[in-house]
Amino acid sequence: MNTHRIHRVAKLTGLSKDVIRVWERRFGLLKPTRGANRYRNYSDEDVALLRFLKEQLDAGGSIGELSKLGREELLGRARASAPHVSFVDNTFSRLLRELLSTLNPFDRVIFEKRLNGAVAVVPFEEALHGILLPLQEQVGQLWHEGQVNVALEHYVTKQIQQKIFSAMNQLPVAEFGAKVVVACPPGEEHDIAALAVAYRCRVRGCRVYYLGANVPIASLTNFCGKVNPDLTIMSFPLALSEVNATELVQALTHEVVPASRLAVGGHGALAMRNIFNGSHIEMLEDFAELDHKLDRLMRQSLSRG
């Protein structure tokens, strides 16, 4: 179960911090715990309950009457009224819509304030997958439809990259742990997903060598020869032609590192699955598989010690 500080609860529910505090004191409906720093931590249930109360008030209900039902009854009604909807997902969709609305007509100040706000209220990894990567995809879609121009798409891409780099820079420099090289293949300029992969590796304690877009095989070989990584992860957002993919796989497995220490991911890699499968390179289907792989790698690295 997630816990949330009051400013995040306010964002997630649309209620002000003052109202949340008053309802907590007066009606005793919320059960926050206290963290080591004495801040109140609210549970997902608290947030669900507050969202339900807000909906009821918006529909004309009175807080006095509703509070008489008690926490358990209200929670039951909240669950029954929104059985399939994750309120966090809803919030991300709302934040995304709000962000996109500032692009046309373009308002830099509001866009940046909203982006900062959205990223600040949830743990960064949630923001990365709930807001930053979907934002990138949706802006791409708008660009494709001719609703935003290339310059604006570049601006948003750079904003997203800055956020990921700055989150990574706040992490301590890893001195121990599995060594992981993250790179895009030659000619691949789409490096946002590779950056997200690098961030996840960093957060899980790996020593990460993030090389980014368009890395020539000869350089990668040279680099891996010096670093001797436990794992090299290549991001393939786009698929290559069969001939190019076959050549690349041969070069990777013969020159760079043994296939057992290579992993690939991304829409392109999935589309080239048959070529990778024949080479024993590991296919990471999604970020959950990446996490499992990293857990195993970190355990091995710790036991080596």
Count of positions on this chain that bind ligand B12 (CB under 6 A):
28
| 207-212/3-4 β-pairing | unpaired
Among 32, 177, 205, 266, binds ligand B12 (CB under 6 A): 266
Q: Tell the smallest beta-carbon distance from residue 270 to ligand B12 (Å).
A: 8
Contact between 233 and ligand B12 by CB under 6 A: the answer reads yes
Q: How far apart are CA 99 and CA 112, in angstroms?
A: 9
Distance CA(148)–CA(139), nearest Å, equals 8
Task: List, edge to edge, every strand of the sheet that includes 179-183.
Answer: 207-212, 179-183, 231-235, 262-265, 282-284
The three-class DSSP label of residue 179 is strand
At 242 the three-state DSSP class reads helix
Classify each residue of 175-198 as buried b or exposed e, where b means 16 or more C-beta atoms within 10 Å of its C-beta: eebbbbbbbbbbebebbbbbbbbb
Q: CB nearer to ligand B12: give 177 or 265.
A: 265
Q: How far is the CB of 188 from ligand B12 (least distance, A)?
A: 5
As beta bridge partners, residue 42 has 4
Stretch that binds ligand B12, among 19-27, 57-65, 91-99, 283-291 (CB under 6 A): 283-291
Contacts with ligand B12, 52-81, as mask; x by CB under 6 A: ------------------------------
> Which two structure tokens, joined as six digits, stand for 116?
């900062």
Query: Exactly one of 107, 137, 242, 247 binds ligand B12 (CB under 6 A); which one?
Result: 137
The smaller minimum CB distance to ligand B12, of residues 9 and 197, is found at 197
Question: Would you state the structure tokens that stand for residue 22, as one six-digit string?
Answer: 């008053």
CB of 187 or CB of 258, closer to ligand B12 = 187
Give the footprint of ligand B12 on residues 173-192 (CB under 6 A): 187-192
The Cα–Cα gap between 294 and 304 comes to 15
Classify residue 174 by its DSSP letter: P
Residue nearest to ligand B12 (CB): 265
Residue that has been written with the tokens 């080596």 in this structure: 304
Contact call for residue 140 and ligand B12 (CB under 6 A) = yes
Radius of gyration of the chain measured on its C-alpha atoms: 23
Neighbours of 10 (CB within 10 A): 18
Of residues 95, 122, 148, 197, which one binds ligand B12 by CB under 6 A?
197
Sign of the torsion angle spanned by Cα atoms 165, 98, 8, 108: positive
Q: Does 238 bind ligand B12 (CB under 6 A)?
A: yes
275 in contact with ligand B12 (CB under 6 A): no
**Residue 295 binds ligand B12 (CB under 6 A):** no
Residue 153 binds to ligand B12 (criterion: CB under 6 A): yes
State whether residue 64 is helix, strand or coil. Answer: helix
Minimum Å gap between C-beta 262 and ligand B12 is 11
Binding window for ligand B12 (CB under 6 A); candidates: 74-82, 106-114, 169-177, 259-267: 259-267
Nearer to ligand B12 among residue 47 and residue 182 (C-beta): 182
Least distance between ligand B12 and beta carbon 146 (Å): 12
Residue 245 burial by Cβ neighbours in a 10 Å radius (0-12, 13-18, 19+): buried
If one asks whether residue 298 binds ligand B12 (CB under 6 A), the answer comes out as no
Instruction: Provide, rounded to whole angstroms, the least separation between the CB of residue 247 and ligand B12.
Output: 17
Q: What is the rounded distance in angstroms from the CA atom of residue 125 to the CA atom of residue 192?
A: 14
Residues that bind ligand B12 (CB under 6 A): 133, 136-137, 140-141, 143-144, 153, 157, 187-193, 197, 233, 235, 237-238, 265-267, 284, 286-287, 290
